[in-house]
Every structure is written in C-alpha cells, then in structure tokens.
C-alpha cells in the first residue's frame, strides 16, 4: 500500500461546478500536506499547503485535512477550463531533507 493514495480519475466536470479532489494517507505522523497542480507536459507547481487539521482557503481553492480519518481534500469552487490539470497531493517524509511523497495524481477536465 502506498503511503499516500489518490484516485487517478479522470474527473470531468462542467464549468462552474464545485470539484472535490481527495487523498488518503496511512502514517498518522504526517502533519504537513501540499497540493501541487501539473498542466499537461509541464512540471508540477505548488498550489497550496496546509498544516495539521482544518481548512485553508485561497481564492477559489480550499484545502482541508481530517487527521482522524487520514483524509486530505482540495475543493475548487466555480471551476474554470483553466483548472484542467492533474492535481497531486504530497507530504514530507521523515527527516529534514525536503523529500516529498506524492499521491498518484487526479486528472481533472473542466468542460466549457
């Protein structure tokens, strides 16, 4: 079992829909979580990060962590065609090296 699991999709939604992207993780010691966005044929870019439990909002994006169920979510409100990309959740491994464990990534398509 991978330490971070993510449904690869693809997920297709109409423009304006609310999108929910999810990951589960296995190690309760993980406390810091990130969402990266990767456009086709590009490298991933950091979208949001959140620490421990709770919500973090940035414009149309909300990141949520539920430590009790080891569940990470990214919500996109009023989705746009420009949001079409692969979204990867990630968390640092143990140690002070910046190594990240990534989920498999969920491919999202927002149709006009």
Residue ranges in contact with other proteins by CB under 8 A? 2, 6, 8, 32, 34, 41-46, 49, 88, 90, 92, 96-100, 102-105
Least distance between other proteins and beta carbon 50 (Å): 10
Q: Which two tokens stand for residue 4?
A: 């971070």
Least distance between other proteins and beta carbon 15 (Å): 27
Of 19, 94, 33, the residue nearest 67 (C-alpha) = 33
Helix (H, G, I), strand (E, B) or coil at 46: strand
**Closer residue to other proteins in complex, CB, 51/71:** 51
**Closer residue to other proteins in complex, CB, 17/73:** 73
Of 93, 90, 63, 91, the residue nearest 76 (C-alpha) = 63
**Closer residue to other proteins in complex, CB, 85/90:** 90
> Which residues, listed in sequence order, are joined to residue 13 by a DSSP beta bridge?
110
> Which residues, listed in sequence order, are joined to residue 95 by a DSSP beta bridge?
none
**Closer residue to other proteins in complex, CB, 68/96:** 96
Least distance between other proteins and beta carbon 110 (Å): 21
Least distance between other proteins and beta carbon 57 (Å): 16
- One DSSP character per residue, 89-102 reads EEEE-SSSS--EEE
């Amino acid at each position: 079992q991978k330490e971070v699991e993510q449904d690869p999709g693809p997920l297709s939604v109409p423009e304006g829909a609310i999108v929910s992207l999810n990951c589960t993780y296995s190690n309760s010691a993980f406390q810091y979580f990130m969402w990266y966005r990767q456009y086709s044929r590009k490298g991933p870019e950091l979208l949001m990060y959140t620490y421990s439990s709770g919500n973090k909002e940035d414009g149309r994006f909300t990141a949520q962590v539920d430590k009790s169920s080891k569940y990470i979510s990214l919500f996109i409100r009023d989705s746009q065609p420009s949001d079409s990309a692969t979204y990867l959740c990630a968390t640092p491994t143990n140690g002070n090296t910046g190594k990240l464990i990534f989920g498999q990534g969920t491919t999202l398509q927002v149709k006009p």
